[in-house]
Amino acid sequence: MADERSTDFGFQRVPLEDKARRVRGVFDSVADRYDLMNDLMSAGAHRWWKRFTLALANLRPGQRALDVAGGSGDLAAGLARQVGERGLVVLTDINAAMLARGRDRLIDAGLAANVACVQCDAERLPFAEGTFDCITIGFGLRNVTDKAAALASMRRALKAGGQLLVLEFSQPRLPALKPLYDAYSFRVLPLLGRYVAGDEASYRYLAESIRMHPDQETLLAMLRDAGLENCRYHNLAGGIVAVHRGYKC
């Protein structure tokens, strides 16, 4: 049974202090094939979802942005192009293997000059209050142990008027879509993980973690509880993915 000393890790309940270690193990295992698996799992749609998120960011040259739990750097790269040489983007991840992959991809793209990489926990971001004009977190919030603490930490790091964008898997809005989505998630994804990434268990966790993540309205309420204002969300792919946004006023 759930209690205050445990949390979800997929469909399992684990001690609070154990989730971060388990999540770290998942991403240590999949880091080398992470980008390939994203393309295969979504048939490339994840790139469109990220472009939509970046369009909402709408940063100006010279501004500052933070990409939390940024994985292999897709959002950070887009943010870096928006803020230009006079701006700054900070890419963070709690996982060293994923952060190294993101750093290497940014260097290969010629974007290292205005990007810094910091290994840190989303729940305790090591940045001064009011540092960033925009903060993004893409497909990372569901892996955080204390989501409310992470949202509060991100709000603190925003400037007044700054925007938080949360891109994450969510709940399908079309009833007919749900059984198809479930069959794909629990049958196809683990097989892709086994044969492409050599890790079936990590991709089974992926499917389970999506089901345990707050739905659209619940996450919207969490943004408001964190002190963000003018909060709303945009459903993508019939609600399989959603972008939540809120502002620090």
Domain boundaries along the sequence of the chain: 6-173+204-247
Q: Is the dihedral of CA 188, 192, 198, 201 positive or negative?
A: negative
pLDDT value of position 27: 87
Rounded mean pLDDT, 25-33: 86
Retrieve residue 224's tokens: 């408001």
Q: pTM score > 0.75 for this model? A: yes
pLDDT value of position 34: 85
pLDDT value of position 1: 45
pLDDT value of position 24: 84
The set of residues, in sequence order, having a beta carbon less than 8 Å from that of 33 and lying 6+ positions away, is 196, 197, 198
- The pLDDT confidence band at residue 3, using thresholds 50, 70 and 90, is low
**In the block, which residue shows the tokens 């991709």?**
203
pLDDT value of position 32: 84
pLDDT per residue over 40-85, tens digit each?
Answer: 999 999 999 999 999 999 999 999 999 999 988 999 999 999 999 9
Q: Which one is predicted more confidently, 112 or 227?
A: 227
Class of domain 6-173+204-247: alpha beta
